[in-house]
Chains A and B, each alone.
Chain A
Amino acid sequence: MPLDRANIDTDAIIPKQFLKSIKRSGFGPNLFDEWRYLDHGEVGMDNSKRPINPDFVLNDPKYKGAQILLTRRNFGCGSSREHAPWALEDFGFRAIIAPSFADIFYNNCFKNGILPIVLSSEIVDALFGYQGEIVINLEEQTVKTEDNIYNFEVDAERKRRLINGLDDIGLTLQYEDQIRSFEAEHLKKYPWL
């Protein structure tokens, strides 16, 4: 799905009236709420009854079921809250392609099973011009169109976790002893902590 705007911030991805939930699922129907619906969205509304903005790409039947979001530079700037990736994930996006991402958002994507892919502005331009289906292969680190294959970079450890769907905390706690011994030294050196 092509979303042709630069600097899309987290407030646009999921407006803040929805951040008050104390749960982490169910944000998908309010993804890009202000652009997607013609009325003002609030918590607890029946979203299926709201007037939709037919000019917004998310409502274009052509892209129904899209799992890849194609967008412009500095996507996800703004808040560190994870509601933005939760909403994208809940809606069904599995990967986002852009020339650049905001740092915290980029990290938050991996933690929520979304693959953020950085490609050059030229390639992103080309993809915006392309009409067919785009296929991403994380194993091979490629983005394929009918005529082209583009390679992308991804940190090896993150790739492994994403492919295996591993729990970050459990993985870190494998090193519990090492953390304990570091901590003992550290607190001895800086006893005021």
Chain B
Amino acid sequence: MAQTLYDKLMGQHVVREQDGATLIYIDRQLIHEVTSPQAFEGLTMSGRKPWRNKANLAVPDHNVPTTERSNGVSSIIDPVSRLQVETLDKNCETFEINEIQMNDIRQGIVHVIGPEQGATLPGMSIVCGDSHTTTHGALGALAFGIGTSEVEHVLATGCLWQSKAKNLKIEVNGNLGKYISAKDIALYVIGEIGTAGATGYAIEFCGTAIENMSIEGRMTLCNMSIEAGAKVGMVAVDDKTIEYVKGRPFSPTEENWDLAVAYWETLHSDEGANFDETILIDASLIKPQVTWGTSPEMVVDINGSTPDPEKEDDPVKAESIRNALNYIHLQPNTSMSSVAIDKVFIGSCTNSRIEDLRSAAAVAKGKKIANSIKLALVVPGSGLVKQQAEAEGLDQIFTDAGFEWREPGCSMCLAMNADRLEVGERCASTSNRNFEGRQGQGSFTHLVSPAIAAASAIAGHISGV
């Protein structure tokens, strides 16, 4: 029978089926410092050991400082953050798990370094105690986020119980306009289907716009599948995927490489495979997107305005519009491009790869950020992205324009380290979540692409390029 990519990937990992649940084998677990301590604590308490050490790769990212940190873990000022990073180091040593430590050049956001190191490969089942694990689906992997007790379960058993998701095809055809990126597609889709629009589904992105998209762009798109509520977001393997994976530290070599490629080439949905739902999107209609509210689905074209709750018929929706506008301190029918901002953040597992930085740098080149901008941060996704960007002179473009060029980590995406917004501050951010208080208590987030973030920094308000 013709199978979807998701069905194939699931099928290849089934250990056992029972009462509607499926026990699947996990090829790779990525670990970071926030969701793992309680899992390791659980292992210790029950006297268990990791099932297969080689399946795991750990890296600290959420809490690491993005400023000077050559003194290693002791450069983390906040004692609680430091304790988490130290705990990860200690647990990896005790349980003999491969860890890329804070000051290693390969360190970075877990979802950036997985693919970068070849620790994410097509066809793998991949989990991580972080919802943006969907990112790795861009390489034709089955990848999803899990909670801490599942982290412990995978550590101890090498497996995970899953229920099967339904299949959703999102086909994006046509050409994207200039300065319009995967981020805009992601926000546009979420705006169309809502943050629960894909709940219970595995999304496969396809169509000519996806075929033409770089692997980095596909990662951005799959990364934000979770914001649409999806279990996973995936793109079929093609030549670009194989080219991307080639020669990375954890990638197969020699005869294993040929074997792997032969297998990877089968990783696409079969002709005539059945999808439970299909959504068609015309890429040429997508404008740059910006969120106006406190959920990623509260999004409009950059030329658009905030909605008017009085015009909304559904009382629950009208109430959420009111709550969101109230929180974010914007009036109904405000033109988004008139919204002044205080800070700009370019980074996060959504938009901190080399292509994102290139796109922002192209906009910032030769310009200066507005005087009213208190801080404009560029935080590369990994040490290797940073190195590459510096080799291309992007750091110079950013610093000349008045941006700060930082060390890799999650940074202001969730403000667990020192990078955060103060109460009442407004930010144009390339991250993925605009929930209340996400970037600092009482702060306001507007999600945008790297190009728009850079343009907004220069203009001092939300702005197109």
Contacts and interface: CB of A to CB of B under 8 A. Distances in A.
A5 B323 contact: yes
A56 to B, nearest CB: 14
B20 interface: yes
Interface string B287-320: 0000000010000000000000000000010011
Interface stretch (A46-54, A79-87, A137-145): A79-87
Interface stretch (B142-150, B342-350, B450-458): B142-150
B435 A12 contact: yes
Nearest to A72: B316
Nearest to B48: A169
A112 B148 CA distance: 10
Contact of A80 (B16, B80, B130, B158): B130
Interface residues of A, number: 53
Interface in A154-170: 155-157, 168-169
B196 A73 contact: yes
A9 B152 CA distance: 24
A9 B441 contact: no
Interface stretch (B81-89, B106-114, B278-286): B81-89
A104 B416 contact: no
A25 B64 CA distance: 24
Contacts of A186: 13, 25
A101 to B, nearest CB: 8
B179 to A, nearest CB: 29
A15 to B, nearest CB: 6
A155 B435 contact: no
Contact of B416 (A16, A21, A82, A172): A16
Nearest to B55: A193
B235 to A, nearest CB: 20
B19 A156 contact: yes
A136 to B, nearest CB: 22
B242 to A, nearest CB: 13
Interface in A24-50: 24, 34, 40, 43
A168 B149 contact: yes
A78 B51 CA distance: 29
Contacts of A191: 252, 256, 259
A24 B38 contact: yes
Contacts of B20: 155-157
A16 B78 CA distance: 14
A20 interface: yes
B153 A104 contact: no
Interface string B100-133: 0000000000000000000001011000011101
Contacts of A155: 19-21, 163
A24 B34 CA distance: 12
A111 interface: yes
B123 A190 contact: yes
B437 A15 contact: yes
B275 interface: no
Interface in B372-391: none
Nearest to A20: B80
Contact of B252 (A74, A176, A192): A192
B436 interface: yes
Interface of A: 5-7, 9, 11-12, 15-16, 19-24, 34, 40, 43, 72-74, 77-82, 85, 100, 102-104, 107-108, 111-112, 155-157, 168-169, 172-173, 175-176, 178-179, 182-183, 186, 190-193
List the 9 shortest-distance A-B pairs measured between CB atoms, nearest first: A192-B252, A22-B37, A80-B131, A80-B145, A20-B80, A82-B147, A108-B147, A111-B149, A157-B19
Given A5-B320, A22-B83, A82-B35, 9 more contacts: A7-B195, A22-B37, A22-B38, A78-B435, A80-B145, A157-B19, A172-B161, A179-B158, A183-B158
